[in-house]
Structure formats: C-alpha cells, structure tokens
Chain A
Amino acid sequence: MSLDEMEQTWNEQQLPSDPAAKPVQKAANSLSRTLLLAWAMLAVMVFALALKVHEVWVEPERTFANSFWNLSIAAASVACGGFGVVWARRFVSEFRTLAHDTVRCLDLLIYNVEWEIRSIRRDLPLMMLGFLILFVLAKGQSISAGFESSVEWNYIWFVLVVFGITGAVMYHRVQAFLRPRLEELRAVRRQFDPTP
C-alpha cells in the first residue's frame, strides 16, 4: 500500500454510527408533529364545544336540560383532546430530559409504543362505545325535544361507519407501523444489554 492509497483509504472511511441514533432521531422528529396534532385536535374540539354552548345560548327553545347529552359529547371530546395534549407534552418533556441517556431514552420509547398499542386495542373500543352511547342519548334527546325528526336516527349508521373506519385505520397503524417499530426499538435496545 502506498501513501496515496493510505490517504484515499483514510478519506473514504465510514465511521461506525450509534445504533440507537436512527430510531431515537426518528422519534424526536415525530414528537413535534405529534404535539402539534394534539394541540390542533384540542382546538377543533374546543371550537365544537363553543358552538354547542353558543347554540344553547342563542336559541331560546334550547336549554341546558334538553341539550345535556349533545353538550356531553362535545365536553367528552375536549376531555379526550386535553388528555392527548397532556400525554404528548409529558412524553416530549421526558424524552428531552433523557436525550443524553440512550438506554433510558430507548426504554421510554419502547414503553410508549407498548402503551399506544395497548390503548388502541383496549381503550379505543371502550371510548368508541362510550361515544356511541352518548350519541344515541343525544339523538334521542334532540328528537324528543323536537329539534330533529325521527328520520335522524338513520345517522346512527353513519356514526357506526365512521367508527368502523377509525377502528380499521388504528388497527392498520398497529400492524403496519407500531409493531415493526416496537421490534426495531427492542432490537436496538438488546444491543445495549450487557453480554453474559
């Protein structure tokens, strides 16, 4: 080997990268988007609640008593949005605190992906059922108060289809994105385990 070849070899060298850098960087990039999305959803839900309250305020035939379930749907949506924002902010804060501790950072990412999968499988169907019940109650209340005709019951199908699509999208997210991501994070984490 000549000195020129040595210099060429030196300049072409690829430095070993941190195995955790890619998934951690990916998570860091998605954090700001997640937080922004959570805030946007909360804003939309607060706006919807404000519209409902405005309706009760300006329409004399509407009272709190005969619009209770309608308001409950909007309030429950705001509560869900608020929970999403709190969760996202806490996660971002913990993630930034651990930015220099790769192993704990990976543990946090794994915990959160597991938590998200568990939430989609267990909590989301319960939440949808709760909203469906609220929707039926609100519809019944609106029809009995004379704000809507009994034909409006047909909208239940529309709600069921929307919930079905949401469930399918979430199931696809778990299978296509979250599970592979969990496996990837676990594989990286295993590289940091002390070898016996």
Chain B
Amino acid sequence: MNRTEQTACFEQWMQEHPGIPQKVARSFCAVDADREDLLQEIRVAIWLAIPAYDSRSKVSSYLYRISLNRAISWRRRPQNRSGHLDSLEEHPDMAAAPANHDPRLEIVYHAIRNLPAAERALILLQLDGFSYREIAGTLGLTESNVGVRLNRIRTKLAEQLKGKKP
C-alpha cells in the first residue's frame, strides 16, 4: 500500500467512524488538553496501523482495538498515570464545556472514567452495539467471560448512576 492509498483509506475510515477515537479519548481523559493529546496519538496510531488491516474484522472493531490499546498505554505513562489531572476536571479553565455540552452525557462519561481501563473498553464496545462475540474478538476474551464481566460492570455503573441527575 502506497502513501496515497493509505491516506485515502484513513480519510474514509475517519469519515465513516468519526466517533470512535473521540469516545475513547473522552472515556480516558477528563481534561480537554489531555483529551486532545490522546486523540492525536490515536489518529496517528490508526494511520500507522492501516497497512496491517487484513479485512477479517470489521473496520469499526479494528479502530476500537487500536484506539483502546493506545488509550490504555497512554494512561500507563508516568505523566498520565492514575489521572493526576482529573482532579482539575471541575475547574472551569481546565475543562471548558464543549459547544454541544450535555450534562447527562458528562455524568455517563464520568461514571465510565471511574471504571478500570479494561472495564471501560468492555462497556464502550457494548454501548456502541458490538455483540459479545465481537467484543471477545476485539479484546482477546472468551464470550462467556465478556458476559460475566459486562454484568458486573453494569451493576457497578447502576450503583454509580443511582440518584445522579443532570
């Protein structure tokens, strides 16, 4: 694959699935500046991974796999570890509300960000309508394991969201 084909493929993927990198970045970073950094890294990772795509999986699950791997390794770096900037989430200068700010959505993302990284990956894929089989294939788990884990995650989320109102 030459550079032009790679670029065309990248454009097409980003047009067809613009939300995947953004959803993953928002689920891993509370602060806008961090989110932009991660989003940039995810886009670069996707661009570099295009030649390795073998058409056996759906493009959306391939994009999720790259985005989640990049987000998890980004989170592991010492400067980003354990969300040391997340305490600034509520500060208006650090986390300016986007133009299409939805307080209900912020509650959802806040709850997702409180989950461990692997659980975030699972719930993101389920919320975006992936089947257990696809989730298992993307994350390298068994289908039954995905089901068990998702039940636990949903219980955790239900507890977190109880009584939360926008």
Question: Is the pairing of A and B real?
Answer: yes
Q: Give A contacts to B, CB under 8 Å.
A: 1-3, 5-7, 9-17, 99-100
Given A10-B108, A15-B19, A16-B22, decide whether A3 and B161 contact each other with a Cβ distance below 8 A. Answer: yes
Residue contact B100 to A1, C-beta cutoff 8 Å: no
Q: Within 8 Å of chain A (Cβ to Cβ): is B107?
A: yes
6 further A-B contacts with Cβ under 8 Å, apart from A2-B161, A16-B100, are: A1-B161, A3-B161, A5-B161, A9-B107, A13-B102, A15-B18
* Listed A/B pairs (10) with beta-carbon separation below 8 Å: A1-B165, A1-B166, A3-B157, A5-B104, A9-B107, A9-B108, A10-B108, A12-B102, A13-B105, A15-B23
- Interchain CA distance A99-B7 in the complex, whole Å: 10
CB distance from B162 to the nearest CB of A (A): 8
SS of B interface (majority) = helix
Residue contact A1 to B19, C-beta cutoff 8 Å: no
- Interchain CA distance A78-B127 in the complex, whole Å: 61
- Interchain CA distance A66-B127 in the complex, whole Å: 81
Interface size on B, residues (CB 8 A): 24
Q: Give B contacts to A, CB under 8 Å.
A: 7, 11, 18-19, 22-23, 98-100, 102, 104-105, 107-108, 111, 127, 154, 157-158, 161-162, 164-166
Q: Which residues of A contact B104 (CB under 8 A)?
A: 1, 5, 9
CB distance from A85 to the nearest CB of B (A): 24
CB distance from B43 to the nearest CB of A (A): 10
User: Which of B22, B127, B164 meets A10, CB within 8 Å?
Assistant: B127
By CB atoms of chain A within 10 A, which of B18, B22, B108 has the most? B108
Residue contact B154 to A1, C-beta cutoff 8 Å: no
Residue contact A6 to B22, C-beta cutoff 8 Å: no
Given A13-B105, A16-B99, decide whether A6 and B7 contact each other with a Cβ distance below 8 A. Answer: no
Q: Which residues of B contact A9 (CB under 8 A)?
A: 102, 104-105, 107-108
Q: Which residues of A contact B164 (CB under 8 A)?
A: 1
- Interchain CA distance A127-B72 in the complex, whole Å: 62
- Interchain CA distance A150-B157 in the complex, whole Å: 92
Residue contact A2 to B105, C-beta cutoff 8 Å: no
Q: Which residues of B contact A11 (CB under 8 A)?
A: 127
Top 7 A-B residue pairs of the complex, sorted by shortest distance between their CB atoms: A1-B161, A9-B104, A14-B100, A15-B19, A10-B127, A1-B164, A16-B98
Q: Which residues of A contact B99 (CB under 8 A)?
A: 16
- Interchain CA distance A13-B102 in the complex, whole Å: 8
Q: Which residue of B lies closest to A6 (CB)?
A: B108
CB distance from A168 to the nearest CB of B (A): 39
Q: Which residues of A contact B19 (CB under 8 A)?
A: 15
Residue contact B100 to A2, C-beta cutoff 8 Å: no
- Interchain CA distance A9-B98 in the complex, whole Å: 16
CB distance from B30 to the nearest CB of A (A): 15
Given A9-B108, A15-B19, A16-B98, decide whether A100 and B7 contact each other with a Cβ distance below 8 A. Answer: yes
- Interchain CA distance A28-B124 in the complex, whole Å: 34
